[in-house]
Structure 1
Amino acid sequence: MGFILWIIIGVVAGAIAHRVLNSRGGFLGSLIVGLVGALLGGELAHMFRLNVTGGPLDQLVVATLGAILFLFLWKKLFS
């Protein structure tokens, strides 16, 4: 169940990031952006010693913020 929840959170976070930054991305694009964002957001939260070990809502917020940061940097570097 944990893996499936991770996929769902990744897709939702990626879709939110695409919407916030007004970029295009289908299911696979949202999944990739969301999962990379979740990893990035988790690392940043760990570096800043933020306690976000709560439930799925905390994970979604961290993944979404990471996905927005990742997509922003991606667009700046490659557009």
Structure 2
Amino acid sequence: MSGVGWFMAIILGGIAGWIAEKVMKAEHGLLTNIILGIVGALLGNWLARLIFGTTAGGWIGQLVIAVIGACILIWGYRAIRSRG
């Protein structure tokens, strides 16, 4: 989450993780939501840079990217878990 401070990254991470949790119909706690949101932001920004050559700007763009990344993480976790 470039361009935002650590405190704002944690807040946006929690919001992004919570939104992803609701979209994907998953049940996680607050800490997991924050982690999912922050890691989702890293994954989302990496994918955006890889596909589009740039990342989203501003906190709203970062929130959208984080939600998409967190949804991808939840989907990936479910895919791996269902194999085992």
**TM-score after normalising by structure 2:** 0.85
Task: Report the CA distance between 1:6 and its aligned residue.
Answer: 0.7
Give 1:2 deviation, angstroms: 0.7
Q: What's the Cα RMSD here?
A: 1.3
TM score, norm. by length of structure 1: 0.90
Deviations 1:29-62 (CA, angstroms, capped at 9, x unpaired): 101111111110010011111341x210000000
Distance in 2, matches of 1:16 and 1:69, equals 13
User: Which 4+ runs in 1 deviate beyond 4 A?
Assistant: none
Equivalent-residue separation in structure 2 for 1:13 and 1:50 (angstroms): 20
Flag structure 2 segments of 5+ consecutive residues without an equivalent: none
Partner of 1:14 in structure 2? 17
2:30 pairs with 1:27: yes
Equivalent residues, number: 78
SS in 2 for 1:60: helix
Q: Once the two structures are aligned, what percentage of the paired residues are identical?
A: 38
Alignment of 1:33-72 (within 5 A): 33-48=36-51, 49-52=53-56, 54-72=57-75
Cα distance in 1, alignment partners of residues 41 and 63 from structure 2? 8
